[in-house]
Amino acid sequence: MNKEQVKNIAIDGPAGAGKSTIARAVSKELGFIYVDTGALYRSIGVYALRQGVETTDGEKVAALLPQIKVELRFVDGLQHVFLNGEDVSEAVRQPEASMAASHVSAIPQVRAFLFDLQREMAAQNNVVMDGRDIGTVVLPQADVKIFLTASPEERARRRFNEMKDKGMQVEYESLLEEIKQRDYNDSHREIAPLKQAPDAVLVDTTGDSLNEAVAKVTKLVREKLGL
């Protein structure tokens, strides 16, 4: 693909805002490749947990990186994340992986480790990439930047329903507390903190159904790209 023709869409926002679900749906609608950067960080967190390493210990986590190979592959049209050849797409969605991702994403060596992989995918393909710092750090020249958010209560409710539907036992209050803590961690870290890029469009989906949120973002992207 001609580099001049490649289009990149960056979707940033706090934990539980529906970035992955919405980005996946928008990419399918447009025929773009979806890149779930959160899954990459979660996989690093999962590996550290499996090795018995405290995910807040930057030096110990960084020392594990040479042992790690993370890949995004498409299986039957769906993105799967592989950790050293193992499909960990389900493992990275567990609650402990979420907080581990928040911890390891604050480690400079981890960000550098994944940075080139993300940039390379965006340079070669039309992508919809979501995360915490895509529009500000990873793809500052993205053609469309969106900052997707919703109230903490709304995000906790969505996560609660999603996990309940999967048969997982969770408490709403603990999810709400976790989301608030994650917001604080992500926005206060020294390296690439969560913040809205100056040229990003703020999209608040509080009160929207998933279909409404997807339609809202897809319409915005089409308008921005002239599609």
How many other C-beta atoms are found inside a 10 Å radius of the C-beta of residue 76? Answer: 5
Per-residue pLDDT of the chain (227 residues; tens, 9 = 90+): 455 589 999 999 998 888 888 999 999 889 898 888 888 999 999 999 999 999 999 999 999 999 999 988 877 767 789 999 999 999 998 888 988 998 998 899 999 999 888 898 899 889 999 988 899 999 999 999 999 999 999 999 988 998 889 888 889 999 999 999 989 988 998 888 889 999 999 999 999 988 999 999 999 999 999 98
Question: How far is it, in rounded angstroms, from Cα 147 to Cα 139?
Answer: 13
Token pair 């996989």: residue: 43
Contact by Cβ (8 Å): 45, 55: yes
Which CATH code is given to the segment(s) 7-221? 3.40.50.300
**pTM attached to this predicted model:** 0.80
Domains of the chain, residue spans: 7-221
